């Protein structure tokens, strides 16, 4: 089944489409692992992504806080799939529309591709839940672009704060508010606080770090890391406070402005930078494609990962609501995405060979989060064996090293972590794109109406506050 792409004409609308056995949209964990497995099985695949690289989201916060290089979290797709190149065609293009029934996708450059089988693995995007000012002014952290832009914005703000001469104006000039105390928010707040404590005081001065730099973590839920055990939550809160993070729980953000955030109770938190890790939703491509969407705008897939009522269409990873054997919703996690990609590939091979598909079985390896140097929590395996502190920190490093794609990326991460642990230096402190990305987003279209954050929809309210969809969103494969 090697590269059999061909042009054909759609009998319905007369437009020509480039035909492949399998068309995959999205080269995140789900799409990439599906393409790899199909390529290994000799199936002709077209893999489409708006980027020519695979981004490793779990370490984006480290790229944004100058702990590791951007090149460590972004690996070229053609490098990753080099061995499968005979069967897997890669196209860098943004998909503008999908017709699920016809199994076609049309890219921004006007080309249409049709698959005998269509796989949608378009991931998540930030959900600002219509919070005034959030979309325009807060920084999300879901992509390499986000990490680059946040890193530059923080460094720019730090330089401006350091240049403030007026003693009366100095207090809190480099204040960062992180909205959402789920795993992404906790890791990001911890990393920034650690930067202030160890790096800013070294590169600038102790006085500057103490008097002008602050990190706030805000969530409308009354705990950090809702998916984790009470013991892990307590440990995390204590570790963050020791790092100097000011925690505001049980308080929702009502608006974001150029001067900071306002909480529902009227409290104002002045901030130079607001980081939004408080909500996820599926890509806007799914519903217009003719697919029925459920919680979080995701497709409630069948147990075999196919979209209900649309033969030959699979929806994977963060784009799907996937359930386990007991019907419980699985969280939006790299491990779920990766395993769903490989499983779907096996089911697609079964489709193409006329065999029966198998229901997805998830192998739960547990949940983990990093709080800072020597401080992490891990709840391992389906029985959630708990470890904390240095042991969990080392386990976190090991797991992420294994998960990272590519030997050079692993080596680079290891060197960065080693240097980071032993010294107070960061080599990645470079302003890449001063605030242009944020400005471009501010001019973008306004966000469609989102799920309400309060009232009847309690689950959505939890998502708003925490950035997690269900208990246990974050684990490792």
Residue among 357, 363, 350 at smallest CA distance from 303: 357
Return the number of the residue (263 or 278) whose C-beta is nearest ligand FAD: 278
Q: In 353-425, which ranges are continuous DSSP H helix?
A: 389-403, 407-422
Angle, helices 436-443/144-162, rounded to nearest 10 degrees: 120
- Our finding on whether 51 is near ligand FAD (CB under 6 A) is yes
Question: Rule CB under 6 A: which of 257-296 touch ligand FAD?
Answer: 283, 285
Q: Give the residue, chosen from 18, 22, 23, 60, that forms a contact with ligand FAD under the rule CB under 6 A.
A: 60
Helix and strand tally (H, E) in the chain?
16, 25
CA pair distance 242, 389, nearest whole angstrom:
13
Residue 58: how many CB atoms within 10 A of its CB?
22
Site for ligand FAD in 424-443 (CB under 6 A): none
Q: Distance between CA atoms of 244 and 242, rounded to whole angstroms?
A: 5
Q: Is residue 372 close enough to count as binding ligand FAD by CB under 6 A? A: no
**Please, are residues 278 and 466 in contact by the beta-carbon 8 Å criterion?**
yes
Q: Which range, of 197-205, 287-295, 331-339, 381-389, touches ligand FAD by CB under 6 A?
A: 331-339
- Binding to ligand FAD, residues 338-367 (CB under 6 A): none
469 binds ligand FAD (CB under 6 A): no
Please report whether residue 467 would count as binding ligand FAD according to CB under 6 A: no
Indicate the residue among 212 and 463 with the shorter CB distance to ligand FAD. Answer: 463
User: Is the distance from CB of 344 to CB of 299 less than 8 angstroms?
Assistant: no
123: contact with ligand FAD by CB under 6 A: yes
Cα 317 to Cα 51, 120, 291, 301: the distances in Å are: 18, 9, 16, 11
Minimum CB separation of residue 2 from ligand FAD in Å reads: 24
**With binding defined as CB under 6 A, does residue 335 bind ligand FAD?**
yes
Cβ-proximal residue to ligand FAD, closest one: 28
Query: What's the residue count for the chain?
Result: 477
Q: Any catalytic annotation for residue 356?
A: no
| C-alpha dihedral, 22 to 343 to 291 to 184, nearest 10° | -120
Burial of 183 (0-12, 13-18, 19+ CB in 10 A): buried
The distance of closest approach from Cβ of residue 92 to ligand FAD in the complex, given in angstroms and rounded to an integer, is 9
Least distance to ligand FAD from the beta carbon of 320, Å? 8
With CB under 6 A as the contact rule, the residue among 23, 27, 344, 349 that binds ligand FAD is 27
> Residue 334 phi/psi, 5° resolution?
-60, -40
Please pick, from the candidates 94, 358, 361, 363, the single residue that binds ligand FAD as defined by CB under 6 A: 94
80 is a site residue for ligand FAD (CB under 6 A): no
Which is nearer to ligand FAD, 92 or 223 (by Cβ)? Answer: 92
The active-site residue, picked from 187, 302, 379, 473, is 187
Nearest partner of 34 among 266, 283, 351, 270, judged by Cα: 351
Binding segment for ligand FAD among 48-56, 289-297, 382-390, 451-459 (CB under 6 A)?
48-56
Which residue's entry shows tokens 């959402």?
180
CB of 265 to ligand FAD, least distance (A): 28
Q: How far is CA 163 from the centre of its chain?
A: 34
User: Is residue 95 a contact point for ligand FAD (CB under 6 A)?
Assistant: yes
Q: Is 475 in the site for ligand FAD (CB under 6 A)?
A: yes
The residues near 312 (Cβ < 8 Å, ≥ 6 apart) are: 103, 115, 116, 117, 118, 306, 351
Query: Burial of 163 by CB count in 10 Å (0-12 exposed, 13-18 middle, 19+ buried)?
Result: exposed
Does residue number 57 form part of the binding site for ligand FAD (CB under 6 A)?
Answer: yes
Select 39 or 58, whichever has its Cβ closest to ligand FAD: 58
333 binds ligand FAD (CB under 6 A): yes
Contact between 133 and ligand FAD per CB under 6 A = no
For residue 227, give the nearest of 332, 337, 334, 141 by alpha carbon. Answer: 332
Q: Which stretch binds ligand FAD (CB under 6 A): 23-31, 228-236, 307-315, 457-465?
A: 23-31
Q: Considering the rule CB under 6 A, would residue 318 count as an interface residue with ligand FAD? A: yes
For residues 474 and 333, give the distance between their C-alpha atoms in angstroms, rounded to a whole number: 6
Q: Does 106 bind ligand FAD (CB under 6 A)?
A: no
Does 468 bind ligand FAD (CB under 6 A)? Our answer is no
Instruction: Give the nearer residue to ligand FAD in terms of CB position, either 161 or 189.
Output: 189
Query: How far is it between the farthest Cα atoms of the chain?
Result: 75
Which of helix, strand or coil describes residue 85? coil
* Interface residue list for ligand FAD (CB under 6 A): 25-31, 48-51, 57-58, 60-61, 94-95, 121-124, 141-142, 184, 283, 285, 317-319, 332-335, 337, 474-476
Cite the active site residues. Answer: 187
């Amino acid at each position: 089944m090697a590269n059999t792409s061909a042009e054909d004409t759609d009998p319905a609308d007369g437009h020509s489409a480039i035909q492949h056995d399998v068309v995959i949209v999205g080269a995140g964990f789900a799409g990439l692992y599906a393409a790899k497995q199909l390529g290994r099985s000799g199936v002709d695949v077209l893999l489409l992504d708006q980027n020519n690289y695979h981004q490793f989201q779990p370490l984006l916060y480290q790229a944004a806080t100058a702990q590791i290089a951007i090149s460590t979290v972004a690996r070229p797709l053609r490098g990753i799939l080099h061995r499968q190149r005979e069967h897997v065609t890669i196209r860098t293009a943004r998909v503008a529309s999908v017709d699920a029934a016809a199994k076609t996708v049309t890219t921004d450059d006007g080309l249409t591709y049709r698959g005998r089988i269509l796989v949608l693995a378009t991931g998540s995007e930030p959900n600002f839940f219509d919070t005034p000012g959030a979309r325009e002014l807060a920084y999300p952290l879901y992509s390499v672009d986000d990490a680059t832009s946040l890193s530059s914005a923080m460094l720019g703000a730090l330089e401006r704060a350091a240049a403030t001469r007026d003693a009366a104006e100095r207090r809190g000039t480099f204040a960062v508010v992180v909205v959402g105390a789920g795993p992404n928010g906790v890791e990001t707040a911890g990393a920034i606080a650690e930067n202030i404590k160890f790096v800013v005081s070294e590169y600038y001065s102790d006085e500057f770090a103490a008097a002008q730099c602050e990190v706030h973590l805000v969530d409308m839920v009354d705990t950090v890391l809702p998916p984790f055990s009470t013991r892990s939550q307590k440990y995390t809160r204590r570790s963050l406070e020791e790092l100097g993070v000011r925690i505001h729980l049980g308080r929702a953000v009502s608006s974001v402005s150029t001067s900071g955030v306002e909480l529902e109770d009227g409290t104002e938190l002045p901030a130079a930078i607001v980081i939004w890790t408080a909500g996820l939703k599926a890509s806007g491509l799914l519903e217009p494609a003719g697919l029925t969407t459920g919680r979080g705008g995701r497709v409630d897939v069948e147990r075999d990962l196919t979209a209900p009522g649309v033969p030959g269409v699979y929806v994977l990873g963060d784009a799907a609501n996937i359930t386990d054997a007991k019907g419980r919703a699985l969280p939006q996690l790299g491990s779920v995405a990766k395993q769903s990609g490989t499983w779907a590939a096996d089911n697609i091979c079964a489709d193409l060979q006329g065999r029966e598909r198998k229901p997805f079985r998830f192998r739960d390896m547990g949940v983990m989060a990093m709080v800072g140097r020597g401080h992490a929590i891990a709840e391992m395996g389906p029985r959630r064996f708990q470890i904390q502190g240095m042991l969990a920190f080392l386990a976190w490093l090991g797991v992420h090293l294994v998960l990272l794609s590519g030997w050079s990326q692993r080596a680079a991460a290891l060197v960065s972590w080693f240097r980071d642990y032993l010294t107070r230096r960061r080599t990645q402190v470079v302003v890449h794109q001063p605030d242009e990305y944020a400005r471009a987003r501010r001019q973008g279209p306004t966000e469609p109406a989102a799920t309400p954050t309060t009232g009847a929809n309690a689950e959505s309210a939890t998502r708003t506050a925490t950035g997690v969809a269900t208990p246990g969103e974050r684990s490792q494969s």
